[in-house]
């Protein structure tokens, strides 16, 4: 594993909800780095790239927002149109005495709720993207960190033994 790719690999794997211990183990195996060094590197990258990792982990929330924004209004409008046309959806429960439960109000309320959840998710997602990150103002350091030097040494060591 190349030294330059290790931080990006850590960000990608943390973005996929992979366990930090699994990531540390793979880094140790691929680079020959000792466990405490790899653990420090993973924690450092996790702290430095938290907004990017969070963005990668939010894919599920983005899809839930989209689904709610699509299905919420459909359910609400469907309930309104069906009710105005005189159609009432019944859930019939056969017990001792058959009971018919009208579902139009339920469909209407679920549609409204889904719409509100979708709008809330859209607003929260937009606000998160618009917030400036703490790392945006940091200057890039040209001096490699100790962990980057260790990875470079491990790559050189691996290159000389495997080549």
Query: Quick one: pLDDT at residue 34?
Result: 92
Q: Do the domain assignments include residue 71?
A: yes
Last residue in a domain, options 30, 56, 82: 56
Q: Same domain, yes or no, for 95 and 107?
A: yes
Together in a domain, 39 and 70? no
How many domains does the structure of the chain reveal? 2
Tens of each residue's pLDDT in the chain, 163 residues: 666 788 999 999 998 889 999 999 999 998 888 999 999 999 999 999 988 888 787 777 888 889 999 999 999 999 999 999 998 888 777 677 777 788 889 999 999 999 999 999 888 877 766 766 554 444 444 445 555 555 555 555 555 544 4
Q: 60 to each of 17, 31, 57, 112, how far by Cα in Å?
A: 12, 32, 7, 21
CB 103 within 8 A of CB 92: no
Do 126 and 73 share a domain, yes or no?
yes
pLDDT at position 152:
58
Is the domain of 49 the same as that of 67?
Answer: no
Those residues whose C-beta lies under 8 Å from the C-beta of residue 64, and which sit 6 or more positions away, are 117, 121
Tell whether 19 is covered by a domain.
Answer: yes
Does 147 fall in a domain?
Answer: no
What residues contact 163, with CB distance under 8 A and at least 6 apart? none
Tell me which residue of 48, 22, 47, 46 sits closest to 35, measured CA to CA: 22
Domain that holds residue 119: 60-130
3-state SS, residue 93 = strand
The runs of H, that is alpha helices, within 35-103 are 35-48, 50-57, 59-84
Q: What is the pLDDT of residue 163?
A: 43
């Amino acid at each position: 594993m190349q030294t330059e790719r290790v931080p990006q690999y850590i960000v990608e794997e943390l973005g996929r909800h992979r366990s930090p211990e699994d990531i540390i183990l793979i880094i140790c195996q691929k680079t020959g780095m000792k466990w405490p060094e790899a653990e420090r590197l993973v924690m450092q990258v996790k702290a430095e790239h938290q907004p990017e990792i969070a963005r990668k982990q939010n894919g599920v929330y983005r899809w839930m927002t989209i689904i709610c924004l699509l299905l919420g209004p459909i359910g609400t409008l469907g309930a309104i149109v069906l009710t105005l046309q005189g159609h009432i959806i019944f859930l019939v429960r056969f017990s001792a005495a058959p009971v018919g439960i009208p579902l139009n109000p339920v469909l209407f309320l679920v549609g409204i709720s889904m719409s509100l959840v979708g709008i809330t998710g859209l607003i929260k997602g937009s606000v998160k993207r618009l917030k400036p990150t703490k790392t945006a103002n940091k200057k890039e350091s040209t001096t490699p960190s100790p962990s980057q030097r260790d990875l470079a040494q491990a790559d050189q060591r691996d290159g000389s033994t495997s080549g």
